[in-house]
Structure formats: structure tokens, C-alpha cells
């Protein structure tokens, strides 16, 4: 049974963490498979949005500690991460750097690595049974997969500190109140809502969507003047694209545009 499954339809790829018997805890093989699938989706011009979700009643309960302690696991026989680990192929890093928009369909509990993975997606839709568990400090570790970078930016310093230092678990309603999820829906409606959202993204000009994501990512570390210059240079090739011509024509003709990504 594949630990990461993929389905593609209407320009949307759905990646599913598929170890429901283990609450979708992440093994070393899953880390590699998830990175490979994300990179493949990002390289595929037919894929314009990616949904990440979990099979069963959990999104992801974190790293598989039994696997991590094995000779082939993340810890290579111990619980410590290898100092020479190539983070360029680590799923949270890959997720951050790909240009294809990502949506987390948060179908249940997300703890540790699972919480960081959810937060690393561009948009989050949660079912009512969803939870984000920042249990790191209660296990003697830090949010190792991007959480210490993401949470202060999403929530501000004080709220991020409050959640991380106390190892809080946030239910879906609290996640919505804090802005950690974009939408909260009944569990039965989760995937339909995520697919509808992904479909709306996929209906827009993919070159412009991907460029917008690149520009917002760059803006996180740039000053205003440097950033506006970067955006100007990014805009020039878009003005020469077939999609820009199609978008302009569709606006004048009062019809829905049909973008090709060219």
C-alpha cells in the first residue's frame, strides 16, 4: 500500500498521507515520497493547485518515532536528526519553495511534524474534528519542521510564544479564531470545499498565480523598494504572455477566460 497517494483531476492534485492505521505518522520513506510528489506536481504544467490531506481520522500525528529510531529512519538508529541532512529535500522546505499553490485539507489531528506541515501550506481548510497540537516542548523538542518560522509570522510574536512554550492543543474553532485556518466546515464537507477552492485557483492564470506566490515569498525578507523593483521585473514577461491577452480579451468580451499557462 502506497504511503503517499496522488489523484489528479481538473488541474488539481490531491496528495494523501496514507497510513491511517498509524495516524499518518511520517516515516523516512514517506518524507522522501512526499518531497518527490510535491516536486513532480510543481514541475507538471497541468497541475495548478495541490491539496494535502490525511487518510482516516487524523491528518498527521507527527514523525513516526519507532521508524526514526531505526537504522533507516530519520534518526538513523537514534532520535537525533543527522547534522548533514539535506534540508532542500525535506518536505516543509520543498513545500515552502514550490510555486504551485498548496491547500491543507485538515481532516483531523495534526501534531508535531503534522502541525508544521499543515501550517506550511498556503491555505488551510479544517473539518470540525481538526486540531493543531504544538506538543513539541512537552516532548523535549522544538517545532523542527518550520513551526518556529511560520507561527510568529502567522500569529505575531506573543501568541506564537504562548502556544509553543505551553505546548498547547488548539481545536478547529480556536484555529479559525486565530486565523490559522481559512475556513471551518463540517467534516463531511471538507474535501468538497477544498476541491472547490482549488478549482477557483486553477481557473485563474497559472503563470500569474505562481508569480504572485513567488513575489509574496520574496517579500518576507525584502524591503519595499527592492521588492517593488522585483515585482516590476516579474510583471514584464507576464504582459507578453498568452494568458494576459486571454484575460484582457475575456474581460472586454464579458466571458470567463480560458487560460493555458502560456
Residue 98: per-residue pLDDT? 97
Do 212 and 191 share a domain, yes or no?
no
pLDDT by residue (tens digit) across 31-65?
Answer: 999 999 999 999 999 999 999 999 999 999 998 87
* End position of a domain, from candidates 159, 181, 202: 202
How far apart, in Å, are the Cα atoms of 172 and each of 23, 91, 107, 131, 157? 18, 24, 10, 5, 21
How far does CA 242 lie from the centroid of its chain? Answer: 29
What's the CA gap between 86 and 195, in Å, rounded? 32
pLDDT by residue (tens digit) across 121-170?
Answer: 999 999 999 999 999 888 888 888 899 999 999 999 999 999 999 999 99
Residue 81: per-residue pLDDT? 54
Residue 140: per-residue pLDDT? 85
Residue 77: per-residue pLDDT? 46
What's the CA gap between 181 and 233, in Å, rounded? 32
Do 77 and 176 share a domain, yes or no?
yes
- The three-point CA angle 168-174-178 to 5° equals 95
Q: Flag whether 64 is in a domain.
A: yes
Q: Residue 225 sits in a domain of what CATH number?
A: 1.10.12
List Cβ neighbours of 126 (8 Å cut-off, separation of 6 or more). Answer: 106, 172, 175, 176, 181, 183, 184, 185, 190
Residue 239 has pLDDT above 60, yes or no: yes
Residue 67: per-residue pLDDT? 61
pLDDT by residue (tens digit) across 190-212?
Answer: 999 999 999 999 999 999 999 99
Mean of pLDDT over the chain: 92
Q: Flag whether 121 is in a domain.
A: yes
Instruction: Take residue 170 and report the three cell numbers written for it.
Output: 488548539
Residue 76: per-residue pLDDT? 52
Q: Flag whether 63 is in a domain.
A: yes
Predicted TM-score of the model (pTM): 0.91
Question: How many residues does this entry show for the chain?
Answer: 262
pLDDT by residue (tens digit) across 68-105?
Answer: 555 555 555 444 555 556 677 888 899 999 999 999 99
Tally the domains of the chain.
2
Residue 12: which domain range?
Answer: 4-202
Residue 236: per-residue pLDDT? 95
230: nearest Cα among 242, 240, 216 = 216
| 5, β-bridge pairs | 16
Amino acid at each position: 500500500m502506497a504511503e503517499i497517494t496522488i489523484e489528479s483531476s481538473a488541474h488539481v492534485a490531491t496528495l494523501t498521507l496514507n497510513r491511517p492505521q498509524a495516524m499518518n505518522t511520517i516515516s523516512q520513506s514517506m518524507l522522501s515520497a512526499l518531497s518527490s510528489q510535491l516536486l513532480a506536481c510543481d514541475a507538471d504544467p497541468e497541475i495548478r493547485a495541490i491539496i494535502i490531506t490525511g487518510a482516516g481520522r487524523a491528518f498527521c500525528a507527527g514523525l513516526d518515532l519507532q521508524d526514526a529510531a531505526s537504522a533507516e529512519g530519520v534518526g538513523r538508529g537514534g532520535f537525533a536528526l543527522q547534522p548533514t541532512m539535506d534540508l532542500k529535500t525535506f518536505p516543509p522546505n520543498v513545500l515552502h519553495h514550490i510555486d504551485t499553490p498548496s491547500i491543507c485539507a485538515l481532516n483531523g489531528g495534526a501534531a508535531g511534524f503534522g502541525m508544521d506541515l499543515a501550517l506550511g501550506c498556503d491555505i488551510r481548510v479544517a473539518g470540525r474534528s481538526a486540531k493543531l497540537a504544538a506538543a513539541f516542548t512537552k516532548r523535549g523538542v522544538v517545532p523542527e519542521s518550520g513551526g518556529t518560522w511560520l507561527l510568529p509570522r502567522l500569529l505575531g510574536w506573543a501568541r506564537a510564544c504562548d502556544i509553543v512554550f505551553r505546548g498547547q492543543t488548539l481545536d478547529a474553532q480556536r484555529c479559525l479564531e486565530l486565523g490559522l485556518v481559512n475556513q471551518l466546515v463540517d467534516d463531511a464537507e471538507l474535501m468538497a470545499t477544498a476541491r472547490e477552492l482549488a478549482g477557483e485557483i486553477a481557473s485563474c492564470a497559472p503563470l500569474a498565480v505562481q508569480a504572485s506566490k513567488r513575489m509574496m515569498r520574496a517579500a518576507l525578507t525584502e524591503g519595499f523598494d527592492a521588492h517593488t523593483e522585483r515585482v516590476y521585473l516579474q510583471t514584464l514577461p507576464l504582459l507578453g504572455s498568452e494568458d494576459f491577452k486571454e484575460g484582457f480579451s475575456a474581460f472586454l468580451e464579458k466571458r470567463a477566460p480560458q487560460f493555458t499557462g502560456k
